Amino acid sequence: MKIKLAIILGFLLCSYYISAQEQITVTGTVIEASTGDPAIGVTVVVKGTSHGTVTDIDGNYTLTDVPANGIIVFSYIGMTTVEEPVNSRTIINVTVSEDVQSLEEVVVIGYGTSKVKDLTSSITTIRTEDIMKTPTSQPMQALQGKVPGLQIVSSGSPGSSPTVRVRGIGSYPGRGNESPLYVVDGVFYDDIGFLNSADINSISILKDASASAIYGVRAANGVILIETKTGQLNREPEITFDGYYGVQVAQNVLKMSNAEQFVTMVMESGSSADINNIDRAMQRYGRSRINPNVPDVNTDWYKEILRNAPIQNYNLDVSGGGSRVTYSLGANYFSQKGILDMKNEYDRYNFRTRIDFNATNWLKLGSNFIWSQDTRYPEESGAWNLAYFAVPILPIYDESNEAATPINFANAQDMGYRGGQNPFPTMEFSNKRHLSKRLLANIYAEISFIPQKLIYKSSFNQAYRNINARDVLLPYYIGNNFQRPDATLIKRQQIYSDITWDNLLTYTDSFGYHNITVMGGSSFRDQSYEMLEAKGLNFPIGQEQSWYIDQAETIPVDGVINDGLRQYGISYFGRFSYNYANRYLLYATLRADGSSKYQEKWGYFPTVGVGWVITEENFWQPNDTFNYLKLRASWGQLGNDKIQASDGALTSNVVNTSLGDVFYSGTTVSGVFSTLRWELTEETNIGLTANMFGNRLSLDADWYLRDTKEAAINVSIPAIGGTVLRNVGVIRNSGFEVALGWSDRFANDFSYNIGTNFSTLKNEVKDLYGQPYIDGGMAEFRQRSYVGEPLLSFFGYRVEGVYQNESEINADPVAVANNLVPGDLKFRDTNGDGEVNDDDRVILGSYFPNFMYGANLGLGYKGFDLSLTLMGQSGNKILNRKRGEFIWTNDTNIDADLAVNRWHGEGTSNSYPSSAGLRKGWNQKMSDFFIEDGKFFRIQNVQLGYNINNQQWFGYEIPSIRIYLTADRPLTLFNYNGFNPEIPDGIDTQTYPIPATYTLGLTVKF
């Protein structure tokens, strides 16, 4: 790969025209536009360099060694940045005015754009420079900790998308109905993991109903708009190469019991079967020289299955434009190996082209195509579980296991254990390859009936995906009950297509103090899906070329699956935006959605937003504290069509009877069938936007209340029994969101910026259709949804401590009645009836964090820049299911924290039971012994860069070069006993660890 990089750079450098530049001295004066006074302390710099000066007390400056055809940049915090081409001039006078650029900035909204100052909604936009700092295949991962109200739950698996939640969950979890809608240049997606981060110009998160309702039935979980890069008119071609190479390192590796700790636990447990297993291990593998009571094997299974893994990414981008045409072309290669030491990796190729053509002064045409092809080798997820439970006295290989084939892996059953435990056969004899091809196609025509006023746009979009999956499970034999006798091949092909045709008519006008924008449109959607799967057994395994179904000896009929889907939709929508003197703002949308999915074909989703810019009022006296202050409020309704169309079934039973001497036969029909519709979400948002202290401080604050009023929940069926889904639940999410940013400059060469954001979340069930609760999870690890509590809260017993001695046992009737002994857990008698039973179970917490925060720091000194991002969360709980597996299998290993801190005598622990206690049903009840705090703090990203711009070496100008070092997620602090506390549903069984990533990168611009 280093050779590839050298070839690319060599080609680019050879294609670059190098020329010498004439140097001159430039002088001038800088004046403030509002007062006419000299502008003191304005930074004057040759663009692309650190060579500059500042204006004196009279606003004057002198700048030497300026390229005659260069550009001088005049900048000062709170003032507009002015760029002046030199054009061989020696005197350049400049006027600077108050900076309102951040307010004039145009952001993407649904089916259009808007200036920041005109927004009445809660929208956060992240630009490409912030996205590119994170080395990842997933663009959304780069937003973690940067947007208040946006929760990103990471995944360490190569090519896996993170879990994304906007303002909590308003739909009953577990049905694939929680993710937001992604809109990429007008094309709808459920996931954007295929996109190259370098191709993205901006990501806008539409968080409230006012911003999202224009997307109707797909907007209830939030909308994320992605705008890809475009060219610019009258701009010379700009060629940009960016690449990085790095390594991923497993962090916070969970410590498991070593051989000595494990043997101690077994001896204390009193289990004769497990003690005999220890004896067999010593007979088979010998005794340790350090401690002869321990087998001479001490395997750290996590260490054995983990590895350092490379990650690399290379982008080539060309953009520019002429007088009528703009273009942007891009190519990308990304590769990431997994830290699980098996065939576990992800490779992706992306190609992008975007062209916009002003055919006439009234007709504009354009197209945008993105082709993505990726190959993913997913991990064998069960390896994480096996590594947790595998006993440390078992080696990886066992030469005495002569019957094992094709590799002599060790088998825990040879020592008497119930399972084979060794994770390596699972990893070694699994080869899963998933090949995905995607096409994003967009073409449009735009007609200006009245220039700058009445514009019609028609666009055709298609999202196409073809997935070809091949799962190969090769045969092996390790022992009689630890084998895979058949070579198994599963081939699966899936084809997705999503076609939309949008037509928009927009009228924009201004008269006096009145500014209006009216938009009306329609959208047609054709969505289809096809899937074909087949399975073959015992095919030739020697060559990958023979891994095809027709080579299999057996093709089970029940292994063939064929499925498909076709749905249509038609929508009509409109938007009205009004602005009076940049002071009073009104925004309203209405969307009517028709769908073939539901029996109720149409839904209507209105929204309205208002804004008041107080600093534009005549009574407002200009001051240095508030440069801009806006209050805003909005209300709207949204839909969620990720709910299935129906639930339940109609059943008929044959009934035979006799009346008199006559025999009768008939049928009875009973039904638990229900038709469903989209869920309806209603949201209110109140916010504030402000710029203060010379526009150095920015503030955005929001309060929201979001109710899903027709949530699909399970409803018990009287008499018949069972449950059926109905749109009768109410789920509420509410909270505060705050984002603060400060930027300033110290003297000529030093600048800095600081930002922070935080958000709160209260998830609450408001109505269960009269039911007292809805159960979720497993019976052994119960979750329960109560009115007034979060969805799927953990539900069980409170632990008050551990019984320490016999006198404490004898003094407690509950302990006596249940034959408890010292070392057993003491549960709280919640209702005070003198017994501990199911009636004493309570809510133990929720997996929803109620507080999330992030912070960022940026420093710039001459050619150096340093950025730092922090993030964290608190209030969430995690169910440590790995420990809970002791319920079913207690002859396995345990984590070191539990081994070290177990109760092993009076006063040794008041939190963890004894070794013997772990095996008792009493201590295995669902309780907060298994529930742990999920809060964490993380240094999310650190990047140090050095920039070389417009410099001359040996009298020749070199291209702009940036060299940077990045550490992504280098430090995470938490108390949870696991690899990481980022668990999407709060239940940790076998989570893929999230590695720290360290990269070295290079950017070259020509």
Q: Which two tokens stand for residue 743?
A: 């930027």
pLDDT band at 958 (very low <50, low <70, confident <90, very high): confident
At 643 the pLDDT is 85
**40-44, Cβ contacts within 8 angstroms, sequence gap of 24 or more:** 41/76, 42/74, 42/75, 42/76, 42/79, 42/96, 43/73, 43/74, 43/75, 43/76, 43/745, 43/748, 44/72, 44/73, 44/74
At 889 the pLDDT is 80
Residue 134, pLDDT > 80, answer yes
94 HSE (CA, 13 A, CB side): 29
| Closest of 828, 873, 869, 880 to residue 852, by C-alpha | 873
Neighbours of 107 (CB within 10 A): 17
Q: Which of 82-96, 637-651, 876-890, 963-977 has maximum average pLDDT?
A: 963-977
Among the residue ranges 99-103, 479-483, 781-785, the one predicted with the least confidence is 99-103
Amino acid at 477: Y
Q: Which two tokens stand for residue 446?
A: 């735009």
Residue 751, pLDDT > 90, answer no
261 sits in the region (left: phi over 0; alpha: psi -120 to 50; else beta) called alpha
At 102 the pLDDT is 58
pLDDT digits (tens, 9 = 90+) for 342-382: 999 999 999 999 999 999 999 999 999 999 999 999 999 88
Residue 771, pLDDT > 50, answer yes
Residue 9, pLDDT > 90, answer no
At 959 the pLDDT is 82
Residue 533, pLDDT > 70, answer yes
Residue 553, pLDDT > 60, answer yes
Crossing angle (nearest 10°) for helices 272-285 and 259-269:
150
Residue 41, pLDDT > 80, answer no
At 257 the pLDDT is 96
Phi, psi of 273 (to 5 degrees): -65, -45
Residue 38, pLDDT > 90, answer no
pLDDT band at 65 (very low <50, low <70, confident <90, very high): confident
DSSP letters, 421-475, are: --SHHHHHTEEEEEEEEEEEEEEEEEEEEETTTEEEEEEEEEEEEEEEEEEEE--
pLDDT band at 50 (very low <50, low <70, confident <90, very high): low
Q: Report DSSP state, residue 284.
A: H
pLDDT digits (tens, 9 = 90+) for 400-413: 999 999 999 999 99
At 17 the pLDDT is 36
At 886 the pLDDT is 81
Mean pLDDT on 759-787: 94
Give the residue, 926 or 600, on which the prediction is more confident: 926
pLDDT band at 15 (very low <50, low <70, confident <90, very high): very low
Say if CB 490 and CB 526 are below 8 A apart.
Answer: no
At 77 the pLDDT is 63
Residue 10, pLDDT > 60, answer no
Residue 242, pLDDT > 50, answer yes
pLDDT band at 869 (very low <50, low <70, confident <90, very high): very high
- Homologous superfamily assigned to 103-244: TonB-dependent receptor, plug domain (2.170.130.10)
Residue 279, pLDDT > 70, answer yes
**547-554, Cβ contacts within 8 angstroms, sequence gap of 24 or more:** 547/470, 547/472, 547/489, 548/489, 548/491, 549/489, 549/491, 552/489
Neighbours of 324 (CB within 10 A): 14
At 133 the pLDDT is 87
Amino acid at 542: G
Residue 651, pLDDT > 80, answer no
Residue 722, pLDDT > 90, answer no
- Homologous superfamily assigned to 2-99: Carboxypeptidase-like, regulatory domain (2.60.40.1120)
Residue 920, pLDDT > 80, answer yes
pLDDT > 70 fraction of the chain, expressed in percent and rounded: 93
Residue 283, pLDDT > 90, answer yes
At 234 the pLDDT is 87
At 997 the pLDDT is 96
167 sits in the region (left: phi over 0; alpha: psi -120 to 50; else beta) called left
pLDDT digits (tens, 9 = 90+) for 429-453: 999 999 999 999 999 999 999 998 9
pLDDT digits (tens, 9 = 90+) for 411-421: 999 999 999 99
Residue 720, pLDDT > 90, answer no
Contacts of 756 (CB under 8 A, 6+ apart): 739, 740, 853, 854, 855, 856
pLDDT digits (tens, 9 = 90+) for 657-678: 666 667 767 766 656 777 888 8
At 507 the pLDDT is 96
pTM recorded for the entire structure: 0.88
pLDDT > 90 fraction of the chain, expressed in percent and rounded: 69
| Closest of 866, 869, 885, 897 to residue 974, by C-alpha | 897
Residue 164, pLDDT > 60, answer yes
Distance CA 830, CA 380 (A): 43
End-to-end CA distance of the chain: 22
Give the residue, 126 or 12, on which the prediction is more confident: 126
Q: Provide the residue ranges of all domains of the chain, joining segments of one domain with +.
A: 2-99, 103-244
Mean pLDDT on 175-202: 89
Distance CA 827, CA 843 (A): 14
Residue 34, pLDDT > 80, answer no
Q: Which two tokens stand for residue 290?
A: 């350090």
At 110 the pLDDT is 80
Mean pLDDT of the chain: 90
Distance CA 413, CA 353 (A): 58
Residue 840, pLDDT > 80, answer yes
At 12 the pLDDT is 42
pLDDT band at 748 (very low <50, low <70, confident <90, very high): low
At 950 the pLDDT is 67
Residue 100, pLDDT > 60, answer no
From residue 86, give the alpha-carbon distance in Å to each of 26, 74, 639, 889: 8, 12, 55, 78
Among the residue ranges 87-101, 346-360, 367-381, 816-830, the one predicted with the least confidence is 87-101
Q: How far is CA 980 from the centre of its chain?
A: 15
Q: How far is CA 852 from the centre of its chain?
A: 14
Amino acid at 80: T
